[in-house]
């Protein structure tokens, strides 16, 4: 190869690398857009283009794209969980999020298949997570298309359970810490909102306004989120504080399951009190 050919090849490689880095940066910028602009969908579009360039550059850049898909999946599924516990219902935004999760999982699978320098090209976890995501898209779309406004406890539990399964399956593939997807402060705020929602779901005088099953679901998932934090990282709060909150949530859920209004309210109020103390420590 002549010197001019080597120079041309080098310049082409440099140009492709610059294009790749620019596309990766655009995918990060897209995630900062408002929800109404479908940030996750836009981020995936940029990552697909980056993946096409990475195929021509080399394995390391394909791995970079794979890592970005993993982080996007975890970020979108975490946000979907937060939205569900904050409002207690399935919204159109949930459909946008689960479609993004399913699309990113599909692209992740394809990206991994193109990598030859990794021992396990396509972990079974990715395929299993794809199955959960496909079910979520169908479930959420049916709910939205039917024009149903209220989301009952069964559907809320199914949504949260599938999202949690996806997060547990994909989390081992990320290089980031759990706190990069939901900080300690965000965790406490989310649990606090869920506990308040549980309180508003029951009423002593207007039984037709009560939904004990949904209130119990709020407590169940608050406990699960706190449990995930215990398992995944060193939480800023002490073990005694976490244990007290776990206990209050378990007792509230137990009382709600028997439709015991007085004890349900008591334990929910206890959880609120503990949360106020914990928030002051963060």
Tell me the pLDDT tens digit for each residue of 25-55: 999 999 988 877 789 999 999 999 999 999 8
Listed in sequence order, the residues at least 6 apart from 250 whose beta carbon sits closer than 8 Å to its beta carbon are: 219, 223
Reduced to 3 states, what is the DSSP secondary structure of residue 258? coil
Burial of residue 129, with CB atoms counted within 10 A of its CB: 0-12 exposed, 13-18 middle, 19 or more buried: buried
Please tell me the number of Cα atoms within 13 Å of 79 on its side-chain side.
Answer: 21
192 token code pair = 């606090």
What is the per-residue pLDDT for 240? 57
Position 159 pLDDT exceeds 70: yes
d(CA 122, CA 124): 6
Is-contact 135 67, C-beta < 8 A? Answer: no
Could you give the CA distance from residue 24 to residue 64 in angstroms, rounded to a whole number?
A: 9
* Tokens at 162, concatenated: 């599938």
Tokens 């990598």 sit at which residue? 115
Q: How far apart are CA 235 and CA 248, in angstroms?
A: 18
Mean pLDDT over each residue of the chain, to the nearest integer = 88
- The SS3 call for residue 214 is helix
Q: Within 58-123, where are the H helices?
A: 59-87, 92-113
The two tokens of residue 186 are 């965000």
Return all residues near 267 (Cβ < 8 A) that are at least 6 apart.
248, 249, 251, 252, 255
Under a CB-based contact definition with an 8 Å cutoff, are residues 38 and 96 in contact? yes
Model-level pTM?
A: 0.89
pLDDT in tens, 215-261: 999 999 999 998 876 655 555 555 557 789 999 999 999 999 999 99
User: Which of 76-90, 102-116, 188-202, 260-274 shows the lowest mean pLDDT across its residues?
Assistant: 102-116
The H or E element containing residue 155 is helix 153-170
113 vs 212: which has the higher pLDDT = 212
Nearest to 31 by CA among 91, 90, 95, 79: 79
Q: Where are the domains of the chain?
A: 1-172, 177-282
Helix (H) or strand (E) holding 202, with range, is none
Q: Which CATH class is domain 177-282?
A: mainly alpha
CB count in 10 Å sphere of residue 249: 29
């Amino acid at each position: 190869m002549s010197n001019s050919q080597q120079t041309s090849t080098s310049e082409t490689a440099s140009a492709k690398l610059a294009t790749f880095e620019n596309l990766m940066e655009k995918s990060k910028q897209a995630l900062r857009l408002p929800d109404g602009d479908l940030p996750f969908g836009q981020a995936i579009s940029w990552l697909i283009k980056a993946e096409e360039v990475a195929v021509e550059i080399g394995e390391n850049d394909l791995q970079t794209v794979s890592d970005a898909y993993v982080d996007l999946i975890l970020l979108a599924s975490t946000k979907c969980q937060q939205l569900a516990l904050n409002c207690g219902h399935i919204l159109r935004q949930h459909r946008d999020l689960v479609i993004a999760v399913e699309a990113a999982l599909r692209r992740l699978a394809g990206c991994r298949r193109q990598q030859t320098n990794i021992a396990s090209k396509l972990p079974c976890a990715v395929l299993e997570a794809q199955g959960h995501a496909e079910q979520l898209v169908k479930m959420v779309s049916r709910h939205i298309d039917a024009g149903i406004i209220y989301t009952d406890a069964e559907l809320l539990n199914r949504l949260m359970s599938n999202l949690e399964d996806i997060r547990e399956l994909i989390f081992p593939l990320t290089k980031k810490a759990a706190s990069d997807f939901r900080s300690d402060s965000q965790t406490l705020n989310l649990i606090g909102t869920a506990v308040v929602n549980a309180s508003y779901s029951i009423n002593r005088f207007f039984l037709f306004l009560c939904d004990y099953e949904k209130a119990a679901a709020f407590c169940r998932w608050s406990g699960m989120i706190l449990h995930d934090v215990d398992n995944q990282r060193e939480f800023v709060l002490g073990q005694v504080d976490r244990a007290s909150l776990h206990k209050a949530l378990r007792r509230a859920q137990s009382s709600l399951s028997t439709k015991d209004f007085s004890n349900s309210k008591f334990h929910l109020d206890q959880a609120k009190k503990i949360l106020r103390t914990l928030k002051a420590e963060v």
